[in-house]
Structure 1
């Protein structure tokens, strides 16, 4: 069923795979609600200060009352001065400083497709200096297509596509799906593999039509004592020099050919990387792909530091190593194998177009697949945190500065009430300025 389809007659069966709180919309709403009701570290600091500030104000009010009475002033005048102190020092603006900024900031983020999971995330964005990016599906579209099939001597193209495609059809990896899709389009229905197994970070293996088939990295085939011929090695190196990915396939003890797939860089990735650099962030490309392909993609988008041929389980180790070097690391990814690294990073950003486990492990979800959303997320988080700090400074400074004026009797309670209300209005107005935050994506 497609949007705007009208069922003019007949029977329509609809299966709801997710309902209620399990739907994406409900989860998005829950993320925004959690962010708006939680407390940032700066708010917890304000709470501790308030715990000291309020008793001090009460003490000043008592001292003011006693001083005026001791100086021989009428009781009414003494009480007026003491009440003015209490009114002007009322920390209403202090209570509004953080919630209003969070409410407006996270709401504006949701409008732009940036879902911040909690207010504590704001603190992380301020400190981040290194951004680690997954390649496939993050910097690139992740939509691989088969661009070439190179067979070994004595092997038919159709046989290579059929056996390799059948095995890859059982895998969810983007490269595997590109091969399987191309094989299906060219040959039709593919056989069903038996004893299928995924070799983490290397490829897949199984039995197809009675043949023990292995498809994946050159190292995986080498584990099976299957080695590429000089002609296939030359073809592989030529393809990788152009930034393409090469998958080897073999069965019955021999390498039967290589399949070349290519991924394209997202149109906005280079611009996003440039914006990150302007913010003082150092981008790092982290991928399990081979070095040549990774450097080709990195050069295209403007990334200098490349960490390639990393096994999925080793991505966390890379994040830990960067953190041990004193860097505050943000990780951007979209796949299942990115989830541990997203959780380990000081700030995890998951593409909303990616897997649920990656989204769950992250601190910020980018609903759109546009990498510029990551820039928006960091900019908005920093702006929101800055607004909170401005609000808190105003709330404290305004009250503290006005207390001596009230204690000296230069401010009656009515004026003190109006002045106190003005501080709250300022805090709310300052927070509402976040509604005018502009997305870099929409600006272009």
Structure 2
């Protein structure tokens, strides 16, 4: 076998050798992901992620912090505000629903007794020996309010003393992170079990054009199926992600399928999908670079420009170039 032929055989085998750049690119993406609270341990997720064009965002924890917050405290009389905060907050400690827990942050617990739950109407009890009721205004005989969010009335010693309004705690950078998704070719869709009015307001605050209200978690499979039937590749981000989705993004510690996140922050969702895309781009670029370097080397060897020692050097240089390409692309 002539030296030129040996060089050609050596360089012709380079594209197969360069295949190792693909796992290198994925390793880099996983390392970057772990640093950002994104765990790309599922190989299927790395393959599906680059094709996702729609992500359903659960209201809880993605564009919101997963909690509610008090957005308005409206006493009947200006000098009632301190009492309104104290009595409502103290009684709020006796309930575990998100609205009551948001109100509970207005004050400490106080001395609670005779606490009684009244279903969806509200809660009553004694705070520092004062009878207090916290709940729907109509239950308390108070005028209805048309505020966005959830507005509860507060009654102390059988007298109404004011209203407290609670709404979603929107993440500070939700609007920017939603824009990141859209710039990356992924359409965000908000899904909520809340009312149409509140869901629309949340979507507008976050820059989301498509949204669905009154959709409990166990009814969302139909949304996934509908999108998939129209040719979309659908990801779902939420605490109880739908198993029919093409890709799951969840914060469940025991999740072995899809992409696991440190939390469901929409910014982390955008980062996760961007990392799968960068890994895919790195793999594609590496394959093309490897093929190009190998073919050019074969041509140079066949024309006698590259002898065996130079062919070996060319191969080493090519491996370094392809590795650098894989690492560089996966890191952007």
**TM-score under structure 1 length normalisation:** 0.58
Give how far 1:189 is off.
Answer: 4.1
What pairs up with 1:13-92 in 2 under 5 angstroms?
A: 78-91=1-14
Aligned mates of 2:142, 2:228 — CA distance in 1: 38
Distance 1:394 1:190 in 2: 74
Secondary structure of the residue that 2:202 maps to in structure 1?
A: helix
- RMSD of equivalent CA atoms: 3.7
In structure 2, distance between residues paired with 1:180 and 1:275: 35
* Deviation at residue 331 of structure 1 after TM alignment: 1.9
Are 2:61 and 1:132 equivalent residues in the alignment?
A: no
Structure 1 residue 248, shift from structure 2 partner: 10
Which of 326, 332, 338 aligns to 2:237? It is 332
1:284 aligned residue (159, 182, 189): 189
For 2:152 and 2:12, locate their aligned partners in 1 and report how far apart those are by CA, in whole Å: 70
- Indicate yes or no: 2:135 matched with 1:235: no
CA shift at 1:268, angstroms? 0.2
Deviation by residue 1:75-114 (Cα, 9 ceiling, x = unmatched): xxx3423322332123364232212111222212222332
Aligned pair 1:317/2:317, yes or no? no
Counterparts in 2 of 1:137 and 1:368: CA distance versus 1, 3 Å: closer
Greater strand share, structure number: 2
Cα shift at 1:427? 1.1
Write the mapping of 1:104-123 to structure 2, written as runs, cut at 5 A: 104-123=28-47
1:185 counterpart = 2:85: no
Q: How many residue pairs get matched?
A: 302
Per the TM alignment, residue 181 of structure 1 is displaced from its structure 2 partner at its CA by 5.8
Give the secondary structure class of the aligned counterpart of 2:208.
coil
- Consecutive unaligned residues in structure 2, runs of 5 or more: 76-83, 123-135, 155-162
How far residue 320 of structure 1 moved from its aligned partner, in angstroms, is 1.9
Q: After TM superposition, give the deviation of residue 284 of structure 1 in Å.
A: 1.0
1:364 and 2:264 aligned: no
Offset at residue 291 of structure 1 (A): 1.0
Q: In the alignment, is the contact (CA less than 8 A) between 1:395 and 1:423 conserved in 2?
A: yes
User: Per-residue displacement from partner, 1:258-290 (whole Å, max 9, x unpaired)?
Assistant: 974222211100111122222232221101111
SS of the residue aligned with 2:169? coil
Counterpart CA distance in 1 for 2:99 and 2:138 is: 23
Q: Does the CA-based 8 Å contact 1:87-1:416 persist in structure 2? A: yes
In 2, Cα distance between equivalents of 1:188 and 1:178 = 19
| Local SS of the residue matching 1:309 | coil
More helix by share: 1
Task: Tell me the distance in 2 between the aligned counterparts of 1:134 and 1:376.
Answer: 17
Q: Does the CA contact (< 8 Å) of 1:104 and 1:434 recur in 2?
A: no
Separation in structure 2 between the aligned mates of residue 420 and residue 390 of structure 1, nearest angstrom: 18
Distance in 2 between residues matched to 1:145 and 1:234, nearest whole Å: 22
What TM-score do you get using the length of structure 2 for normalisation? Answer: 0.75
1:122 alignment partner, SS class:
helix
Matches within 5 A, 1:258-273: 260-273=165-178
User: Aligned to 1:393, which of 273, 283, 288?
Assistant: 288
What is the deviation of 1:310? 0.8
Task: Select the residue among 206, 212, 221 that pairs with 1:307.
Answer: 212
Q: 1:395 to 1:294 in 2, by over 3 A?
A: same
Q: Which has the higher contact order (CA 8 A, sep 6+)?
A: 2
